[in-house]
Amino acid sequence: MARRNWTHEELLLAFNLYCKLPFGLYHNRNPDVIALSHLIDRTPSAVAMKLSNFASFDPIHQSRGIKGLSNTSLADGLAWEEFTSDWDKAIWESELLLARMTNGNIDSANPELSDEFAEFDVPDIDVTQVERITKVRVGQNFFRKTVLANYGSQCCICKMPIPPLLIASHIIPWRDREDLRLNPHNGLCMCVFHDKVFDAGYLTVDEEYRIVVSRQIFEYLPNDSVEMNVARHHRNKILLPDKFLPSQDFLKYHADTYFLAR
C-alpha cells in the first residue's frame, strides 16, 4: 500500500498535541497519541514519529541531537515554520479543528477565565464580543497547558508540583507585546507566589537562566520567610523546560523593564 502523505490539517493537529505533551510522552502507548491516531486514521506509531519529527526542529532538542526522519523533514519543517510564526492563528485553527472532529464545542471545552488571566484580553477586532471572549479562552487554556507541560508541571523557581497552584507566567506581559501573548517562548511556569514576585520585579531571570533577586528583597533580612521563599534562590538556575526554551531577548526585556535593580 502506498504511503499516504500527511495533510495540512493532520500536521496542525499533531503540532497541537506536540505542544501540550511533555517530551517524554511522545510514544505510541500514550492514550493521547492513540486518540489522535484514531481521529486522523493513522497508527499510533506514525503519530509518535510525527511528534518526534517536530521535536527535531526545536533548538533545545537540536542541541541534544534529536533528529526526525530525513524523508519527511522538509514537509514537517515547513509546517513547523508556519505554525510557530503565527501562534494565534495556529492555536485557534487547531483547537477549532479538534473540536469539530470530535463533535465537540470549542467554547465548552475551554472553561471560564481563571484568576491568572483576569486581565488577559485581545485587541479590538471586527468580530462579535462572544467570539473575542471565546478566542481569549481558547488561547489562554492552550498557553497554560503548553507551558505547564514544558516544565513538567513544576514551578521553575521552587519546583512546586501542585497544578492548581501553578501559573503560566508571561515574561513580557501581553499589554506590552500582544503578539507574544500565546508564544510559549514567552512563558515560565511559576507557583502563585513566585509569579507575583516576578511580576512585581523582585526577581528576574538572566540570559543564562539564573535567578536574580532584587537588592530590595535583602533589605527584609533577616527573616525566615524571605530567606526561605526568595533570597535563597538568588543565582540558582531555573528549572528549564523540555521544549520552547524561554527567549533570552524576552528575559532581557523583563530585566531591563520590570526588575527592581536598585
What confidence score (pLDDT) does residue 118 get? 44
**Residue 176: inside a domain:** yes
What confidence score (pLDDT) does residue 113 get? 41
Global pTM reads 0.85
Domain count, the chain: 2
**Residue 131: inside a domain:** no
What confidence score (pLDDT) does residue 116 get? 45
Domain boundary among the residues 85, 103, 118 is at 85
**Residue 244: inside a domain:** yes
**Residue 106: inside a domain:** no
- Which pLDDT band, with edges at 50, 70 and 90, does 107 fall under? low
**Residue 34: inside a domain:** yes
pLDDT tens per residue across span 31-57: 999 999 999 999 999 999 999 999 888
Domain that holds residue 213: 154-257
Do both 158 and 252 map to the same domain?
yes
- Which pLDDT band, with edges at 50, 70 and 90, does 119 fall under? very low
**Residue 111: inside a domain:** no
Do both 247 and 164 map to the same domain?
yes
Alpha helices by DSSP H, the chain: 8-20, 31-40, 44-55, 59-62, 73-85, 87-101, 129-150, 192-199, 215-218, 224-229, 248-257
**Residue 49: inside a domain:** yes
Cα–Cα distances in Å, from 38 out to 45, 46, 81, 187? 12, 11, 26, 31
Domain boundary among the residues 85, 104, 135 is at 85
**Residue 217: inside a domain:** yes
Range with the lowest mean pLDDT among 24-28, 104-108, 166-170? 104-108
pLDDT tens per residue across span 228-260: 999 999 999 999 999 999 999 999 999 999 999
Domain boundary among the residues 60, 85, 110 is at 85
- Which pLDDT band, with edges at 50, 70 and 90, does 75 fall under? confident
What confidence score (pLDDT) does residue 125 get? 45
